[in-house]
Amino acid sequence: MDLRFPSGCDIAQHDFADILETIHAEVQLRFGEGRPADYISALATVPLDGFGMALVLRDGQVFEVGQSRRPFTIQSISKVHTLTLALDAVGDDLWERVDREPSGDSFNSLIQLEYEKGIPRNPFMNAGALVVADVVLSNCGDARGRLLEFMRSRSGNADVACDEEVARSEAATGHRNLALAHFIKSYGNLHNPVEDVLDFYYLQCSLSMDCVDLARSVQYLAGNGHCSVSGRDVVSGELATRINALMMTAGTYDAAGDFAFYVGLPAKSGVGGGIVAVVPHVLSLCVWYPGLDDKGNSLLGRYALHRFSRMTGLSVF
């Protein structure tokens, strides 16, 4: 699948400020739909009356609407960033320990691991993210510090940090993740102690950022590997394309096919209500609404991205 737009794609025709305002007005009429991630106690009581959306062009220009500066925990969106760190550390050797296929099962499923001998289907389901976390722990020295530095550099926000209340809440209810980690460990596919892997995983999921932060943090995937926030090349253009492909095929849990059908953009969601999306070679986006659908994706966030791709024609298809 070719996820590239022509590098000369003309975006001047789009009034992004007006488009975002139109989407915001439509979304407000549907506040209250979906339900928060109530299996994490710290997220269970988030009211369903907030929405934010931000986009960042390749030159760094930002357009935003609603509560785009309201922090929330990024949850599984962080898997994009830890995957980038792991690929930077070990390259294609990562694919000996985690596959690149859509799962067809829920994000915290145990079923496939036994059939596939502890090799997770992809790096974005929880099992795969645990293996990726293990790789980062083994190869990045101070993994916690490295992740924080990476997120602060990509977003331009030096205050990005862990929400300790959410991290504790996830650890207290993370029985399925504990089971996944021990199961993978039994096949020799975790090299660090299970407790260390889970601590790092809960750290990455509980990072608190807002829509502008997150749209900036994945801008390198829209910029052929270049981050205009830091002025650095983060990954090669080839690797940016590969990460985008994984986001398209596995970034929204077992709803990836439906998401591709309705939105048509590489994306990664999190149960905190955020979704990041990429228009390759053009821009990056983030939406936030805490009410989830039955697949664990932001219900109105998905709608907002659907409307954006239809109003602008910016889809990879």
Strands 72-73 and 161-162: unpaired
State yes or no: is 253 an active-site residue.
yes
CB 209 within 8 A of CB 217: yes
Catalytic residue among 98, 271, 276, 287: 271
CB 302 within 8 A of CB 280: no
Distance CA 104, CA 317 (A): 22
Catalytic residue among 68, 153, 206, 253: 253
Catalytic residue among 68, 76, 169, 309: 76
State yes or no: is 201 an active-site residue.
yes
- Cα separations in angstroms, 16 against 221, 241, 251, 262: 20, 25, 25, 20
CB 268 within 8 A of CB 77: yes
Q: Of the candidates 45, 68, 38, 42, which has an alpha carbon nearest to the alpha carbon of residue 55?
A: 68
Catalytic residue among 201, 202, 220, 303: 201
Catalytic residue among 56, 79, 229, 235: 79
Report the length, in residues, of the chain: 317
Q: Is 118 left (phi over 0), alpha (psi -120 to 50) or beta?
A: left
State yes or no: is 271 an active-site residue.
yes
- Cα separations in angstroms, 299 against 31, 74, 133: 10, 16, 28
Catalytic residues: 76, 79, 201, 253, 271
